[in-house]
Each structure stands twice: as structure tokens, then as C-alpha cells.
Amino acid sequence: MDVLILEPEFMVDFNGSIQQGPIIIENGRIVKDHPKHNGTTIRLHNQVILPGFVNCHSHAFQRGLRGLVEQKTDRIDSFFTWRERMYQLIESMSITDFSLLARLVYLEMLEAGFTHVGEFHYVHHDLKGARFKDPLAMSRALCDAASEVGINLVLLECAYNRANFDEPLLARQQRFGHPHVDDFVSLVKQAHRELENDHVKVGAAIHSVRAVPEAWLSPINEFVTHNAMPLHIHASEQEQDVADCLRHTGLSPIGLIHRNHLLAPHTTLVHTTHLINDDLEAIKESSPSICICPSTEKNLGDGVVKLLDLYRLGINICLGTDQHVRLDPFCEARSLEEQERLRLKKRTILGKPDAFLHQTLLNCLNTSGMRSLYPTFVPSRINQPANLIAVTLPPEYQWHGPQVALDAMMLSHTPAQITHVITNGHIVVHDSESQLAEKQYLINQLKKFFKN
Ligand SMILES: [Zn+2]
């Protein structure tokens, strides 16, 4: 029997409580005890074990844009000019390059402490926009990449049908679209049947109410509800999205989603930067999760989400790295609090009275993220698959004990302080030679794509 015993200074569980004692992993799961305690023991001196971080919003291929879209031009640069560059990137990306980038970015995520990722996947077709013989070819590339590096993937197959409310797909969006909702639902069904395994689960996404007709919303929601799947939707990221939706439907994107009964605990709204009118009331009534992507939202100049208003509703707030402008869960999490301090000109904003900052921020990084990607998830310490990270404690642990040390960690740590990453009971990251070689191989292979 495969037994791994971890002996950190202490562990933080999914509820944010500090636990003492060894962590025993048997056949990939955390167990209460093991009669003989024989197995491999790893003493984690000056380290804490945390539940693995959850990256709820990823477009793996957009990792290829990093550094390419930062040059100042004489035009007004915005989300929309960035989006043109993103279309250009995918226009020439073969399935092989797509797969190599996915492997690289999933490996980088693991190194950063993410043990789970939700891949919001809308590139379904070949370079000319024609269907692959295997309609799941691109999806399979993502699932294989995740399984090869050892990250847990929730593949969110994404519906996309048009450029805007009254505009058909543009030539450069042909790789994304499905003509009918039935085609799209069949794709999700097939993915559910063929791609799920220990590492991979399937859910669905609606790109946005701009890109998907209102008549599609209910059939997609019925399918995901029936199959207990998560449903993710980009919502109200840009003021333009809200204005277009108001003009065509008389409702905000969130109002339109609500009218079709899609707001529910299995649904995650991504961004929600520009809320208007009754949006908060609709969210309060139906408790969806909200996924914030601070680094991407800053990079794209989206605007600042009024997080405190959402936080007060008691809903799940989770995090994503979206276009992967950086992969640093500590930075994403602390940005939630820091952005609110700048916006409101106050301190210690999120969290309950007397709570430590880390309790709020770690909850966004793990428990809320798990609820967003796995709607039936129940937090518990025992009998969960062992998805854990070991992090070196800052000197504050010696000076002030665990609570202050964890707050200091959230303020100042980077992924460099993560020493071990464990998914489903296997150590997948600990600075090994083979891991460095794998990264170098992927970087070399991708040179050909970027040089063309
Ligand atoms: Zn996105």
C-alpha cells in the first residue's frame, strides 16, 4: 500500500483552521490514521501545508501573448485592441503548438501552487474554422496536457455563436463557433463521456451573452444542471458589454442571465467589473460564485470591481489568472484586498471582524475555488484526494506564531517559497532536474511557432 507521511510545522485545512500532527496519505487520499505509520516520511521543517490553490479561470493558449502586447502605440490602446492581438495569435496556432503551450502553462501553474484549473475552452476548430474529424481534438489536447503534467483540470467547454448581438461570427472567430445549441450540447455530452478520468472533469461555459443567443441559455443550463456540472460565464467585464446588452435587450448581462434562471450556486460569473441597477440584488437572491482575475483585469484596463459589495452578500469569491500575465496566486489573492484599500481609502476591508487577512484570502484561493469548479464539493480534511502544497514559513512564524506568519505570507510570498506540490497523492513539483528539462523542451519546441 502506498503511504506518504508529511510532517510540517502545522497544516491549514479547508475551513481555515490550523491543525497539528502529521498528514497521512494513502492511495492518493488523506486518511485519519495509518496503523503502522510505515511509508515514506517527509519532514517539512519550517513549512506549512495548505490545500492546493484553485485557478478558476484559464485560457491556456493566451499564455503566448505575455510580453507581446505591452508596446505603446499612438492609438488608444484598450481591451479591444488587445483582443485583436489575441485573435491574431490563435489564427496561426496549430493543435501541436496549442498543446505545447497548454503543457507549459499547466506546469507553470503547478510550480505556482495551483493544483486545479478551470479551462474556459472556446477554440474548437482547425486553422480554417473547419471541424476536426474528431470534434474533441482541441479538448483532448488540453486534457492530455493536464494529465501529463499532473494538474487537475475542469474542462469548461464553451459555447460561442456570434460576434455581437446583431453580428455573425467574424472571419477570425471561426475557430470558436457552433451554429446551433444542439451541436454544442452534443460536444459537451461527448466530452463528458470520453474525457473524464481521475484528473479531468467536464463542465460547460457560455462565452458571454454577447457571443451566445438568449435562446441557448436554458438548454445549456438544463444539461449542466441535470449532470451536476459547473457553468461559467464571462459577465460585465467591459462597460461596452453592458451598454450593448442594455441596448439590445433592455437588461444588463447579469439581468439577462438572471431572467433565464442561470444564476444559481453551480454558476460562476467571471469578472463582474461593471455592475448596474439590480445586478447586486439578482446575485444576492441566487448565490452564484464570482471569479475575479486581478492581474488580467489590471493588465487589460478593465476597471476595478466593487468587491466589498459582493463580499457582503456572503457569496463565493474565487480567483483566476485568465490570460496568465503572471502566475502568482499570492499576488492574485492579495490584490483583492489591496484594490479595495485603494478604491475605498481604508484598511482591513474584507473578512469578518477580528478575522485574519489570510483566512479570507486562502478561502478565495482554495475552498471557494473548489466550490466553483466542483459544485458538489464538501470541504473536509479527511478522505479528500491529497491536493496539497508545502510553503516555507516567513520569519514571523518564529517571532509571532502561525496566524501572523500566514498574514505575512499572504502579503509578501511568491511561488518561490513553495517547496512541494502534491496532486492526488503524488509529488508533482519539487524543483527536480526532470521538471526543468521538461520546461526547457517545451520552450525549445515553441520557438518555431513564435519565430514564424
Ligand atoms: Zn476569460
**Distance from residue 359's CA to the centre of ligand 1 (Å):** 26
**Distance from residue 14's CA to the centre of ligand 1 (Å):** 26
**Distance from residue 4's CA to the centre of ligand 1 (Å):** 37
**Distance from residue 162's CA to the centre of ligand 1 (Å):** 17
**Distance from residue 324's CA to the centre of ligand 1 (Å):** 10
Under 8 Å between Cβ of 427 and 420: yes
Under 8 Å between Cβ of 407 and 105: no
**Distance from residue 5's CA to the centre of ligand 1 (Å):** 38
**Distance from residue 33's CA to the centre of ligand 1 (Å):** 42
424 torsion bin: left (phi>0), alpha (psi -120 to 50), beta (else)? left
Residues of the chain where predicted confidence (pLDDT) is lower than 50: none
**Distance from residue 42's CA to the centre of ligand 1 (Å):** 38
- Return the pLDDT at 35: 65
- Return the pLDDT at 430: 73
**Distance from residue 353's CA to the centre of ligand 1 (Å):** 33
**Distance from residue 420's CA to the centre of ligand 1 (Å):** 29
- Return the pLDDT at 445: 96
Residue 54 DSSP symbol: E
- Return the pLDDT at 10: 98
Kindly report the pTM of this predicted structure. 0.97
Nearest CA to 4 among 429, 434, 422? 422
**Distance from residue 425's CA to the centre of ligand 1 (Å):** 30
Kindly give, in sequence order, each residue whose CB lies less than 8 Å from that of residue 202, ignoring residues fewer than 6 positions away: 154, 155, 157, 188, 191, 192, 195, 196, 229
**Distance from residue 341's CA to the centre of ligand 1 (Å):** 25
**Distance from residue 141's CA to the centre of ligand 1 (Å):** 19
- Three cell numbers at 423? 496532486
**Distance from residue 57's CA to the centre of ligand 1 (Å):** 6
Under 8 Å between Cβ of 206 and 159: yes
**Distance from residue 120's CA to the centre of ligand 1 (Å):** 7
The C-alpha atoms of residue 133 and residue 126 are separated, in whole angstroms, by: 10
34-51 pLDDT tens trace: 666 678 999 999 999 999
Residue 178 DSSP symbol: -
386-421 pLDDT tens trace: 999 999 999 999 999 999 999 999 999 999 999 999
**Distance from residue 322's CA to the centre of ligand 1 (Å):** 5
**Distance from residue 31's CA to the centre of ligand 1 (Å):** 37
